[in-house]
């Protein structure tokens, strides 16, 4: 009986590889990206990647560690559809950086998890390149991670991406929001598109209801669907750090992610305060108005699901608002006063001015 070339190749594979998990392929991929990851090393890193645990020098006793974990979510399905994987790594790093930034923390190191049905070296390389790019931009070491092949758990051709960040803040500089009081001003900073939230609804509108492809233009714009939906989740570390360096007191901050204004701003409000937001104080990008119109989504639900063009808010005293706006404007952040703090019960109230 003559054996085919395919039969010989199958027999030369390990039983585990034939079951769907190729350890050799994964390990060769990890070796390939080690140099890339080494480029994110900072002064606190002890040793390199490859051990069972990453090592990092502990900060001083007057410092606090701040940690957060999050995922990219179904934005990954857009990346797979568009066959573009170089931005999602940046998304998860920047998202996590912003989450700890609201407490005044600067990132120290980042850990990633990539899970897939089958290891794809090209996709893995692009994802890790994005992780490394964002880590370097945020002065953060990519200290380690995990890559898992689990056939049957993840759909073929798709993957999951999750990250954990650890940062540091001096105890005396910790920002909790407890100093927020009526009369304070709320400054909004523009988002980079949807950031990493609301993609299940966005995909339904663009691909299911409207039948668009990643290559089509978003109606009313000159931007492709892929570019609009895969726009990188911005990091707000540099502008916020500059405000701190300029000694402009920040009373509180919020990262506008899932849950929009209504769920995120109250996380930093005292029990006796409301955040009053004027939804006509900034121009909502076409991307969001398209989803609202074509998806027949209520106005209030849009502001609950999406950031509507505001990715981060900074709360300052009224007397400090002009200086903060000046600094942020010079940093090309296009800041806008979007509301104020009033007496209340720790919630967001929309009080929209007449549209001009």
User: What are the pLDDT digits (tens) for 123-143?
Assistant: 999 999 999 999 999 999 999
* pLDDT on residue 10: 47
Residue 300: which region, alpha, beta or left (left: phi > 0; alpha: psi -120 to 50)? Answer: alpha
Give the residue-averaged pLDDT of 209-234: 97
Across 34-48, 142-156, 278-292, the highest mean pLDDT is recorded for: 278-292
* pLDDT on residue 37: 73
Give me the DSSP letters along 190-222: E-STTTTS-HHHHHIIIIIIS---TTSBPTTSS
* pLDDT on residue 45: 76
* pLDDT on residue 302: 97
For residues 321 and 299, give the distance between their C-alpha atoms in angstroms, rounded to a whole number: 29
What does pLDDT average to over the chain?
90
> How far is CA 201 from each of CA 91, 133, 194, 197, 320, rounded to the nearest angstrom?
19, 29, 11, 9, 38
What are the pLDDT digits (tens) for 150-163? Answer: 998 999 999 999 99
Residue range(s) in the chain whose domain bears CATH number 3.30.1330.10 = 19-173
> How far is CA 91 from each of CA 9, 87, 153, 211, 256, rounded to the nearest angstrom?
39, 6, 24, 26, 14
0.75 exceeded by pTM: yes
Give the residue-averaged pLDDT of 161-190: 97
**Which CATH superfamily includes the segment(s) 19-173?**
PurM-like, N-terminal domain (3.30.1330.10)
Give the residue-averaged pLDDT of 319-339: 98
* pLDDT on residue 31: 65
Q: Decide: 313 and 256 in contact? Cβ < 8 Å.
A: yes
pLDDT surpassing 60 at residue 6: no
**Helices of type H across the chain:** 5-12, 15-18, 23-38, 75-82, 88-101, 121-137, 199-203, 225-229, 237-245, 260-264, 286-294, 299-305, 318-330
Query: Among 32-36, 88-92, 202-206, 247-251, where is mean pLDDT lowest?
Result: 32-36
Give me the CATH code for the 185-350 domain, please. 3.90.650.10
Give me the DSSP letters along 12-78: HS-HHHHTT--HHHHHHHHHHHHHHHHTT--TTEES-TTSSS-EEPPPPTTEEEEEEEEE-TTHHHH
* pLDDT on residue 254: 98
pLDDT band at 165 (very low <50, low <70, confident <90, very high): very high
Tell me whether strands 141-149 and 106-116 are parallel, antiparallel or unpaired: parallel
Residues in the chain: 356
> How far is CA 13 from each of CA 7, 16, 25, 118, rounded to the nearest angstrom?
10, 8, 11, 15
Residue range(s) in the chain whose domain bears CATH number 3.90.650.10 = 185-350
Please name which of 283, 279, 247, 272 lies closest in space to residue 341, comparing C-alpha atoms: 272
- What are the beta bridge partners of residue 314? 187, 253
pLDDT band at 32 (very low <50, low <70, confident <90, very high): low
Q: Decide: 118 and 20 in contact? Cβ < 8 Å.
A: yes
Q: Decide: 348 and 266 in contact? Cβ < 8 Å.
A: yes
Please tell me what DSSP assigns to residue 157: T
What are the pLDDT digits (tens) for 94-108? Answer: 999 999 999 999 999
């Amino acid at each position: 009986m003559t054996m085919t070339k395919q039969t010989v190749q199958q027999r030369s594979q390990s039983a585990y590889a034939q079951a769907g998990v190729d350890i050799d392929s994964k390990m060769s991929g990890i070796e390939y990206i080690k140099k890339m990851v080494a480029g994110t090393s900072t002064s606190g890193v002890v040793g390199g990647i490859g051990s069972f645990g990453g090592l990092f020098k502990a900060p001083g006793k007057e410092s606090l560690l701040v940690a957060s974990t999050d995922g990219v979510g179904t934005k990954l399905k857009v990346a797979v559809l568009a066959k573009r994987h170089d931005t999602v790594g940046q998304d998860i790093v920047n998202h996590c950086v912003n989450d700890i930034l609201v407490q005044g923390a600067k990132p120290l190191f980042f850990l990633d998890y990539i899970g897939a049905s089958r290891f794809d070296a090209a996709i893995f390389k692009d994802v890790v390149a994005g992780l490394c790019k964002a880590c370097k931009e945020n002065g953060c070491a990519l200290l380690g991670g995990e890559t898992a092949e689990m056939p049957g758990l993840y759909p073929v051709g798709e993957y999951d991406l999750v990250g954990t960040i650890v940062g540091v803040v001096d105890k005396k500089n910790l920002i909790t929001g407890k100093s927020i009081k009526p009369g304070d001003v709320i400054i909004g900073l523009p988002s980079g598109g949807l950031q990493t939230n609301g993609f299940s609804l966005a995909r339904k509108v663009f691909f299911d209801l409207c039948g668009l492809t990643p290559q089509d233009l978003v109606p009313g714009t000159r931007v492709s669907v892929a570019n609009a939906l895969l726009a990188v989740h911005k990091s707000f570390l540099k502008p916020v750090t500059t405000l701190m360096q300029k000694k402009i007191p920040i009373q509180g901050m919020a990262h506008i992610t899932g849950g929009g204004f209504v769920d995120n701003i109250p996380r930093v409000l005292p029990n006796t305060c409301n955040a009053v937001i004027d939804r006509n104080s900034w121009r909502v990008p076409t991307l969001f108005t398209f989803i609202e119109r074509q998806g027949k989504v209520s106005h209030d639900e849009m502001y609950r699901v999406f950031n509507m063009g505001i990715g981060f808010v900074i709360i300052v005293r009224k007397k400090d608002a002009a200086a903060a706006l000046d600094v942020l404007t010079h940093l090309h952040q296009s800041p806008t006063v979007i509301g104020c703090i009033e007496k209340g019960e720790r919630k967001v109230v929309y009080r929209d001015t007449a549209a001009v």
